């Protein structure tokens, strides 16, 4: 009976020692092992064997990238404007031993270092530069913080300015300035649009006038060519038909009434060719044996 109890006790002790001797470290974690209170080694992810009651594993350290959001801090710019700046910090622990023994409160130390560096950087630029040059400020902050935290086993991956909050009166003044700038740009764009419209209208009128002039010129040329062809055709027909002077005189007399037509013709002047034409007709009638009868009044 006593032997059985001793065996059970030995088995329990063995299980307890085994549980204290085997440590499983998860992925992306690291464990700092101390032997009799002094640093011994760093446990890697996986199965690790430790000596119970002699070696002790400190709380595991997260090796993944971590994000810390620092509350807004009042900072004075170069032009004496107090702004509240909120920052976001991304960092990674790359040396568990240094992060454990070189610094007591890593996050608090990083926060205070960030505030101090931020005040130094923002104090050298104006409010407008702090609003428009965030990338430069982020780069300067990251450089200073990464250099200071390197000995702590911490690497600063990225520093971002989350918000820059000026005082209410400065905000109102900036809004008025932006509104005035937008109005000015709108006026410039309107003037440019009116100018372009006037230019396009003038160009259109110019092209229209040129096209009209070219059309009129083409029409005049075609009209003149048509009249020239008509005259040439009539002239050729006259020569081919061997028209005598009597026929021409008769045609001339027929055209006289058309010359007298029109409301503006108040006085009708008989040209000198009329007598010649009339004489030609008289000769023609006398030769044919016909005598012109007087017209009864």
Claim to verify: residue 109 and residue 154 sit in the same structural domain: yes
Q: Are residues 69 and 20 in the same domain?
A: no
Rounded to whole angstroms, what are the CA distances from 227 to 218, 220, 234, 297? 14, 10, 10, 42
Any bridge partners for residue 86, and if so which? Answer: 163
Model confidence over 262-272: pLDDT tens digits?
565 555 555 55
- The verdict on pTM exceeding 0.85 is no
Residues 128, 155, single domain; the answer is yes
Q: Are residues 70 and 39 in the same domain?
A: no
Q: Which domain holds residue 105?
A: 65-172
List, in sequence order, every residue forming a beta bridge with 56; answer none if it has no partner.
Answer: 34
Compute the distance between CA of residue 147 and CA of residue 149 in angstroms, rounded to an integer. 6
CATH number assigned to the domain comprising residue 112: 3.30.479.30
Cα–Cα distance between 129 and 122 in angstroms, integer?
9
Confidence band, pLDDT 50/70/90 cuts, at residue 41: very high
Is residue 191 in a domain?
A: no
Tokens 């464990």 sit on residue:
31
Asked whether residue 267 is assigned to any structural domain, the reply reads no
Question: pLDDT digit string (tens) for 155-188?
Answer: 999 999 888 888 888 777 777 777 888 888 888 9
User: Is 164 within the bounds of a domain?
Assistant: yes
Same domain, 83 and 160: yes
CB atoms within 10 A of CB 154: 24
Question: Is residue 118 within 8 Å of 87, Cβ to Cβ?
Answer: yes
Alpha-carbon gap, residue 170 to 177, rounded angstroms: 10
* Domain C-terminal end among 138, 172, 206: 172
Note whether 50 and 70 are same-domain residues: no
The verdict on residue 85 lying in a domain is yes
How many domains does the chain divide into?
2
Contact predicate 145/109, CB 8 Å: no
Find the mean pLDDT for residues 276-283: 57
CA distance 170 to 127: 10
Judge if 43 and 85 occupy the same domain: no
The CA-CA-CA angle for residues 84, 85, 91, to 5°, reads 155
Domain end, chosen from 120, 153, 172, is at: 172
Is 15 within a domain? yes
163 within domain boundaries: yes
73 & 56 share domain? no
3-state secondary structure of 47: strand
What confidence tens digit (pLDDT) does each residue in 8-33 have?
Answer: 777 777 777 777 788 889 999 999 99
Q: Supply 202's token pair.
A: 């003038």
Residue 136 lies in a domain: yes
């Amino acid at each position: 009976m006593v032997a059985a109890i001793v065996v059970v006790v030995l088995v329990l002790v063995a299980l307890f020692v085994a549980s204290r001797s085997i440590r499983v470290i998860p992925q992306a974690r690291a464990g700092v092992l101390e032997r009799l209170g002094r640093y011994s080694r760093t446990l890697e992810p996986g199965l690790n064997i430790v000596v119970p009651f002699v070696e002790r594993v400190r709380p595991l350290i997260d090796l993944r990238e971590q994000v810390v959001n620092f509350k807004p801090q009042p900072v004075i710019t170069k032009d004496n404007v107090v702004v509240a700046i909120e920052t976001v910090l991304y960092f990674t622990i790359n040396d568990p031993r240094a992060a454990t023994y070189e610094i007591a409160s890593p996050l608090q130390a990083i926060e205070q270092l960030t505030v101090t560096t931020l005040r130094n950087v923002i104090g050298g630029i104006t409010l407008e530069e702090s609003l428009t040059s965030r990338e430069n400020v982020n780069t300067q902050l990251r450089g200073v913080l990464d250099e200071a935290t390197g000995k702590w086993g911490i690497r600063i991956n990225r520093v971002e300015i989350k918000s820059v909050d000026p005082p209410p009166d400065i905000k109102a003044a900036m809004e008025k300035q932006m509104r005035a700038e937008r109005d000015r740009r709108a006026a410039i764009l309107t003037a440019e649009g009116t100018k372009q419209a006037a230019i396009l209208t003038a160009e259109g009128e110019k092209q229209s006038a040129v096209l009209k002039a070219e059309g009129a010129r083409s029409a005049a040329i075609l009209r003149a060519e048509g009249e020239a062809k008509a005259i040439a055709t009539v002239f050729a027909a006259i020569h081919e038909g061997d028209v005598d002077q009597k026929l021409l005189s008769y045609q001339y007399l027929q055209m006289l009434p058309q010359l007298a037509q029109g409301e503006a013709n108040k006085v009708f002047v008989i040209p000198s060719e009329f007598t010649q034409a009339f004489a030609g007709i008289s000769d023609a009638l006398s030769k044919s044996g016909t005598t012109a009868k007087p017209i009864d009044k």
